[in-house]
Amino acid sequence: MRLHKVHTGHRLRDKAMLRLMRVVMGHAPGVVRTLLYRKEFFGRPFSELTQQVMRGPSPWSVGEREMFAAFVSRLNQCVF
């Protein structure tokens, strides 16, 4: 369940981008809505952390990390 505010409380520029995504993809993924809502509080720090985890130094290759992420997303029934 997503908070109503996270679903509708975006700035004008972000609303335009979400609308464009809806036209092109048929929907705007929930993760994108969450990252765009209060970007300075959650979106940017979380995106930076994700970038470090997925592309930073690791004994696993980038491909392996992407497979792990896809597998976990599938288990969580998350459509990416």
The string of pLDDT tens digits covering residues 27-73 is 888 888 888 988 899 999 999 999 999 999 999 999 999 999 999 98
Same domain membership, residue 31 and residue 57:
no
Same domain membership, residue 32 and residue 60:
no
Could you tell me if residue 71 is inside a domain? yes
What's CA 8's distance to the chain center, in Å? 16
Same domain membership, residue 55 and residue 32:
no
Could you tell me if residue 44 is inside a domain? no
pTM of this prediction? 0.67
Residue 31, domain extent: 1-37
Same domain membership, residue 33 and residue 57:
no
Q: How many domains is the chain built from? A: 2
Same domain membership, residue 32 and residue 54:
no
Answer for the pair 22, 15: CB distance below 8 angstroms, yes or no.
no
